[in-house]
Structure 1
Amino acid sequence: MGALITTFGVGELSAINGVAGAFSEHIPVVHIVGCPSTISQRNGMLLHHTLGNGDFNVFANMSAQISCEVAKLTNPAEIATQIDHALRVCYIRSRPIYIMLPTDMVQAKVEGARLDTPIDLSEPDNEPESEDYVVDVVLKYLRAAKNPVILVDACAIRHRVLEEVHNLIEKTNLPVFVTPMGKGAVNEEHPTYGGVYAGAGSSPPQAQEIVESSDLILTIGALKSDFNTAGFSYRTSQLNTIDLHSDHCVVKYSTYPGVSMRGVLQKVIKQISASELNVQPSPVVQNEIPKAVDDSPAITQAYLWPRVGQFLQKNDIVITETGTANFGIWDTKFPSGVTALSQVLWGSIGWSVGACQGAALAAADDNSGRRTILFVGDGSFQLTAQELSTMIRLKLKPIIFVICNDGFTIERFIHGMEAEYNDISNWDFKALVDVFGGSKTAKKFAVKTKDELEQLLTDATFNAAECLQFVELYMPKEDAPRALIMTAEASAKNNAKKD
């Protein structure tokens, strides 16, 4: 769970885009808003940071649409109960909550006895009869299938069933694939790992054929959005699909509301074995730079992303921005233990820079020694560049790659290469390191050729990541990852549809 504190009105509205992204992406966030005192609210006083109409609930009402719980702390006798309940809801539902804290409640005495009892974060049990029925049906279809596969998606991560996913993979030896939003959910060095399934954008391409020819696809935590499916390019049938979700299950065309995936997975794992399944081989996934990549010195998308896979280390944290990075990373095979952070569904450009700061801070707090690595486009970076200052101030040590390709590449492929609104100002990006106070503590680089990139990625000091390192990574303007081109074409066609 994450937490943020904002000022009433002006502060919370500045943060509302980020909170909406957390709601969209199933991220538990506690949003605490410091607001005027209960007396000021009751008297309808004309205060700064208000709309001047005496309505102190208007912003809470806005946030209610992107929160799974709104707690207005106005009565000291109820505050402890309200907070415990809100935190439980935030954790269980894996979505933001909104806590409205008036200034006169900050020092108010509340019930202290509750601090002796930990908050109950256990998920509600499934109704036993319904759960057992779903388990029996799932087992029946798994045992009968000729070439079953497992497909792991975003909500397996967000709703914390990765231990169950791992145990299922080990118990069944079935081919396992991830979606783009499921990157990092499984050990990509596992022998049964078959790559990223995203319809026509799958990587390796043979992953599409294997998944779509399967007579039973067991999906875990599916989130079938446009970018997660390469423009809705799935060619699978619900008749061959079992979808396990956090609050319901769908077996072929039958839906079982209220039956969550954790209980089902745990019982399936106990009752299944690989010997009773038809296990087919998975495709071999490697960080292999395609032979068709031209031998020009330019750093192309087709060259970069497999090379990134060779650069990554176990347990790295990898953040990819909406745009070329989000799609290019599909072609990167991760070492074990890598955490992948992206915002494929919400897609708010600039998100990744702040996310990098948060991830690097978390890594520093737990003293794990994990590297934090960001790939962000030049246009996106310009929206939230000031977070670089925060990273320098906090002495964080991320590796930041700014992809310099003259503007908003994904928009060029959707709306046309020459649209002027996709152009950006030509910043001296690496100069910002000094501007923000990092001249003595950080390093900066500019790489424009494959040889320069190779020299950097093989440098032992650079790999050690002992300080903040900022890299301008120059790439061709009209080049994009294969999956982005396919998805952009699908988006353009969808945008052009008429009633």
Structure 2
Amino acid sequence: MLQSQAQQTVEVSVGRVCTIAEYLLERLVQLNVTSIFGVPGDFNLAFLDYIESHSKLGWVGNCNELNAAYAADGYARVKEGSIGVVVTTFGQKNKLVLHHTFGDGRYDMYFKAAQQVVISHASLQDKATAAAEIDRVITDCVLMARPVYLVLPTDLVSAQIPAERLQTPLNTEPPQNDPETESVVLDEIVKLIEEAERGVIILVDACSIRRNVKDEVFEFAKKTRFPVYSTPMGKTAIPEDYELHGGIYAGVTSRPEVKAKVESAKLIISVGGLKTNFNTGNFTNKISPAQTVELHSDHTRIRLATYHGIGMKHLLPKLTERMQPFKEDVKAIDVPEFTLPVSQEDNDKISHLWLWPRLGQFFKKGDIIVAEAGTAYFGALEIPMPGGSVFMSQFLWCSIGWTVGSTLGAAIAARDMGLPRVILFVGDGSIQMTAQELSTMIRYGVKPIIFVLKNNGYTAERYLHDENAQYNDIATWQGFFLPPMGGTEGETCQSYTVRTKNELSQLLDNVEFAKAEKIQLVEPLMDTHDAPRVLKVLAALLKKAKLEE
């Protein structure tokens, strides 16, 4: 199960008793889960029967477990207030030599392996404690916005337990802050803001999204009229068409006007900061702790002092209440215009310099835009996206292929929510990792627009190390294969290959294409050694760092 914050409704359809499977599924329904991802296997089939017969849940069968996990992740990122769920196999108590094992009688090895990456876990071995354990683990998932792991043995799937607990909603609200400490924290922040006068900026980062404080931080921004900037991992946490949104800050990879404004601020209010290498321009962000207030999910840092247990979810609304509206006209506030004009080049070759701002003209409010780690991510990063759009990337782990499975989950969630378009940007190398899920998209009738940047391999890797190394080459796939995967070309799917700026522009301007009424795949042919501006700057930084080691 994956992220995020949840808002529950309790609509119990079971009686005085229920099976453990029914109890678990009812808790998921209360968290607004409507689709469950996974792969059928010998030891989970009895549980899958309960999913298949459930009136409020749908099963999405994936091509493999890796893709299922990616899909659940994408589903949760789009469907705020819900979580993503993956079902895999297997578990067995008796020491028999069974398939799906190493043949050594160890049936808990998957459970133990999962414990290295989850925030909470349980193996349901006793029906007397099963309901409480389910509630504990799911609550941890929601509160901590981290993955959890549940083992449900086959022989307990249909075990009967009392259903009474289902009448009580799970407590998924973050704990309240200590009032006295919170009061001190508020006083200190307000004092620093008053001393800084108009020299305050807000910097939103990844955990403002993961910890579900986007609304709270936007209210704070609108009330104070402080300029807002985003880190790469905080992109679209604040609507990027907001008049005081100045762009993306990531150290020396930032645009010069953004870098200057952020680093010259008297006070920076950082919300949900995550200081990874790529997120900080390889640690080149010049932000002193002495000029920073950091708001996190479970602590607040004011300059060099840390206040544990003071979380931003409850702190931000109170901080907003304490702020007096500033009277200055918005036009007097000097914020860089977040824009990226289309480059006027003297040739018709599709370049990154031209491609991304041109795509920016294609986006609409409410679009879900997914960008693969690599050239797609670095290119999409600098495009100002319309308000209400959601930018999805996976830039901490950077596992290529993530976006294809994630787009499936995102598209299913978007369909539930009435969001019209999901748009994927992925490289021709990355898509080869998880291309099977294109068939799942067709099978379940979702209709993303997929741009496969065809540049003959791992261009990001070429820039980061050796641009001519053969290990960054890939096998060339001659066109993609939506019809053999179950689609009917021209009816349920459509494929395009575009070789020039003019061909791509005509396609983007095509009204039928923009409607996204069928799954569509576009292959822009691009130069192997071309790359977006941010990738070039970051690659130069990394090479310089290696030389200085």
Q: TM-score, normalised by structure 1?
A: 0.92
Q: Which has the higher contact order (CA 8 A, sep 6+)?
A: 2
C-alpha distance in structure 1 between counterparts of 2:364 and 2:372, whole Å: 20
Q: Would you say the 8 A contact 2:270–2:295 is kept in 1?
A: yes
Counterpart of 2:520 (choices 453, 466, 469) is 469
Q: Would you say the 8 A contact 1:44–1:54 is kept in 2?
A: yes
C-alpha distance in structure 2 between counterparts of 1:438 and 1:33, whole Å: 27
Q: Does 1:150 align with 2:205?
A: no
Q: Would you say the 8 A contact 1:9–1:59 is kept in 2?
A: no
Q: Would you say the 8 A contact 1:306–1:332 is kept in 2?
A: yes
Counterpart of 1:282 (choices 322, 332, 335) is 335
C-alpha distance in structure 2 between counterparts of 1:433 and 1:33, whole Å: 27
Counterpart of 1:343 (choices 391, 394, 418) is 394
Q: Secondary structure at the match of 2:269?
A: strand
Counterpart of 1:303 (choices 348, 354, 371) is 354
Counterpart of 1:242 (choices 293, 301, 318) is 293
Q: Does 1:425 align with 2:475?
A: yes
C-alpha distance in structure 2 between counterparts of 1:9 and 1:424, whole Å: 35
Letter in 2 for 1:436: M
Shift of 1:15: 4.2
Letter in 2 for 1:238: P
Q: Does 1:36 align with 2:91?
A: yes
Q: Would you say the 8 A contact 1:409–1:478 is kept in 2?
A: yes
Aligned to 1:437: 486
Counterpart of 1:251 (choices 302, 315, 324) is 302
Q: Any idea what the Cα deviations from partners look like across 1:52-100, whole Å, max 9, x if unmatched?
A: 2222222111100111111101111111111111111000000000000
C-alpha distance in structure 2 between counterparts of 1:112 and 1:47, whole Å: 34
Letter in 1 for 2:334: P
Q: Does 1:371 align with 2:421?
A: yes
C-alpha distance in structure 1 between counterparts of 2:188 and 2:130, whole Å: 45
5 Å-filtered alignment, 1:214-253, equals 214-253=265-304
Letter in 2 for 1:322: A
Aligned to 2:142: 91
Q: Any idea what the Cα deviations from partners look like across 1:26-65, whole Å, max 9, x if unmatched?
A: 976545454334xxx1x42222212222222221111001
Q: Does 1:48 align with 2:99?
A: yes
Aligned to 1:315: 366
Letter in 2 for 1:334: M
Q: Does 1:74 align with 2:125?
A: yes
Unpaired segments ≥5 residues, structure 2: 3-35, 45-61, 78-82
C-alpha distance in structure 2 between counterparts of 1:71 and 1:338, whole Å: 36
Q: CA RMSD in A?
A: 2.5
Shift of 1:358: 0.9
C-alpha distance in structure 2 between counterparts of 1:9 and 1:152, whole Å: 45
Q: Measured at CA, do residues 276 and 371 of structure 1 come closer, stay the same or move farther in structure 2, by a change above 3 Å? A: same
Q: Any idea what the Cα deviations from partners look like across 1:152-199, whole Å, max 9, x if unmatched?
A: 011000000011011011101110011111111111111111011111
Q: Secondary structure at the match of 2:170?
A: coil
Q: Would you say the 8 A contact 2:482–2:493 is kept in 1?
A: yes
Q: Does 1:392 align with 2:442?
A: yes
Q: Measured at CA, do residues 33 and 390 of structure 1 come closer, stay the same or move farther in structure 2, by a change above 3 Å? A: closer
Q: Measured at CA, do residues 474 and 358 of structure 1 come closer, stay the same or move farther in structure 2, by a change above 3 Å? A: same
Q: Any idea what the Cα deviations from partners look like across 1:242-301, whole Å, max 9, x if unmatched?
A: 1111111111111122211112211110000233899842111223124xx522111111
C-alpha distance in structure 2 between counterparts of 1:350 and 1:396, whole Å: 19
Letter in 1 for 2:236: G
Q: Does 1:261 align with 2:261?
A: no
Q: Does 1:407 align with 2:457?
A: yes
Q: Secondary structure at the match of 1:164?
A: helix
C-alpha distance in structure 1 between counterparts of 2:434 and 2:150, whole Å: 26
C-alpha distance in structure 2 between counterparts of 1:429 and 1:216, whole Å: 52
Q: Does 1:171 align with 2:223?
A: yes
Q: Would you say the 8 A contact 1:231–1:486 is kept in 2?
A: no
Q: Measured at CA, do residues 235 and 156 of structure 1 come closer, stay the same or move farther in structure 2, by a change above 3 Å? A: same
Q: Measured at CA, do residues 17 and 35 of structure 1 come closer, stay the same or move farther in structure 2, by a change above 3 Å? A: same
C-alpha distance in structure 2 between counterparts of 1:329 and 1:181, whole Å: 12
C-alpha distance in structure 1 between counterparts of 2:67 and 2:306, whole Å: 33
Moved more, 106-115 or 52-61: 52-61
Q: Would you say the 8 A contact 1:19–1:66 is kept in 2?
A: no
Shift of 1:476: 1.4
Q: Would you say the 8 A contact 1:225–1:345 is kept in 2?
A: yes
Q: Any idea what the Cα deviations from partners look like across 1:416-435, whole Å, max 9, x if unmatched?
A: 111000011111233x1122
Q: Measured at CA, do residues 346 and 401 of structure 1 come closer, stay the same or move farther in structure 2, by a change above 3 Å? A: same
Shift of 1:493: 4.0
Q: Would you say the 8 A contact 2:71–2:409 is kept in 1?
A: no
Q: Measured at CA, do residues 31 and 353 of structure 1 come closer, stay the same or move farther in structure 2, by a change above 3 Å? A: closer
Q: Would you say the 8 A contact 2:231–2:279 is kept in 1?
A: yes
Aligned to 1:383: 433
Q: Any idea what the Cα deviations from partners look like across 1:113-133, whole Å, max 9, x if unmatched?
A: 011111111111112222221
Shift of 1:394: 1.2
Instruction: Report percent identity of matched pairs.
Output: 40
Letter in 1 for 2:303: K
Q: TM-score, normalised by structure 2?
A: 0.84
